Structure 1
Amino acid sequence: MPANPSRALTENTQNVAKAFFSLSTDDKLALLYLAYEKMGDSITPAEPTAAEPELAPKLLGDYFELSDDEQLQIMRDIVESKDTEYSRAYGALTANNQLVVWYAWAIAMGDTVVDMPEDYEITESIQNVLNHIEDLDFEGQITVLREVAQNMGYSDVKRVTSTQETGVTPSL
């Protein structure tokens, strides 16, 4: 879990996000796929008018032309926030557009996106986090998924510390 989780998270959604971030890289990828598979269109995007998929041509265009191994490595790099071309492209997007990327990849899995192995078995850890996500109301689910999405990828832009966090009012 990021050092400073979003203040928009309730204690319950913070716990679900922390559980997600405690998973291994491949378990995180599996959970994202399963969440989109189970919840489908209800999480895509959270606010359709707020998402602009044309802003992610590398992730929603070029990516589909790559080999399965290359696609999987890109997903892993994004989840691990590695400094790569694709991870930077992802990190430059808004949280809503990041959700669109995961949605587009999830619905294309097995077609133009690398699929989960046929013999893949969901671990207890993944199932527990998925159950917690499903137990949240719609707004809680979207909040958790936004938190997860925006804490992946790479960006040089540093988060601005709030007055509430520092206790200091900036001066002019």
Structure 2
Amino acid sequence: MTASQNHSVPQALTNETQKVVEAFNKLDTDAKLAWFYFVYEKMGDSITPAAPAAAEPNLAPILLGDYLDLSDEEQLTIMRQIVNCEDSDYSRAYGALKENNQLLVWYAWAVAMGDKVVDLPDNYETTDTMDNLLSQIEGLEFEQQMSVMRTIVGNMGYSDVKPVETQAQTGKTPSL
């Protein structure tokens, strides 16, 4: 199942930002996690302030509290489940959040990485594809970066909530 967003209506609307999202989607699971790490490592000061200011951390206690008490392997498993939209308690908790709160989760995890959150292995090496993708997002304006990040995080997690059909889809008008 998919995250809380309707994948057919992307938030990253320009061709340039869509290409970044598409390139990210082609990465394997662990490369996606590493990409997040490098984005926050390189650009955390510019990309992350928007998330905490617009988010409500009390909506994600399982992801911002309980998660921090788990082993590194359990944390990595949960991150992979979220990236892969698998049906698990943590992935459902993540999928139930709006994008700003999802960004806050990744931000909080990035800040705690290596301390309370599993760290990237010391011997991890990026690929040319990942380096290119990092360069692409760095080259975007702030609003475009946020659009890309919201689109990416909104496509993760599990939710069985279906979008409400529109009048055009149903052919029915609302009644009073």
- The two structures have a TM-score, normalised by structure 1, of 0.91
1:104 aligns with 2:104: no
Amino acid at match of 2:153: A
CA distance in 1, matches of 2:90, 2:133: 27
Amino acid at match of 1:20: F
Q: How many Å apart are 1:12 and its aligned residue?
A: 1.1
CA distance in 1, matches of 2:83, 2:52: 24
Match of 1:95 in 2: 99
1:171 aligns with 2:165: no
Q: How many Å apart are 1:50 and its aligned residue?
A: 2.0
Backbone CA RMSD of aligned residues: 1.9
1:73 aligns with 2:81: no
Where relative contact order (Cα < 8 A, 6+ residues apart) is larger, the structure is: 2
Q: How many Å apart are 1:135 and its aligned residue?
A: 0.8
1:154 aligns with 2:155: no
Listed as ranges, the gaps of 5+ residues in structure 2 are 1-5
CA distance in 1, matches of 2:7, 2:60: 27
Q: How many percent of aligned residue pairs carry the same amino acid?
A: 59
1:26 aligns with 2:30: yes
Match of 2:3 in 1: none
Of stretches 18-27 and 46-55 in structure 1, the one that deviates more from structure 2 is 46-55
- The two structures have a TM-score, normalised by structure 2, of 0.89
* Aligned partner of 1:42 among 43, 46, 54: 46
Amino acid at match of 1:152: M
Match of 2:145 in 1: 141
Amino acid at match of 1:46: A
DSSP-derived class of the 1:36 partner: helix
CA distance in 1, matches of 2:125, 2:35: 12
DSSP-derived class of the 1:9 partner: coil
DSSP-derived class of the 1:106 partner: helix
DSSP-derived class of the 2:120 partner: coil
Aligned residues: 169
CA distance in 2, matches of 1:162, 1:19: 30
CA distance in 2, matches of 1:169, 1:69: 49
Q: Deviations over 1:11-44 (max 9, x none)?
A: 1111110110110000000001110111113222
* Aligned partner of 1:64 among 60, 63, 68: 68
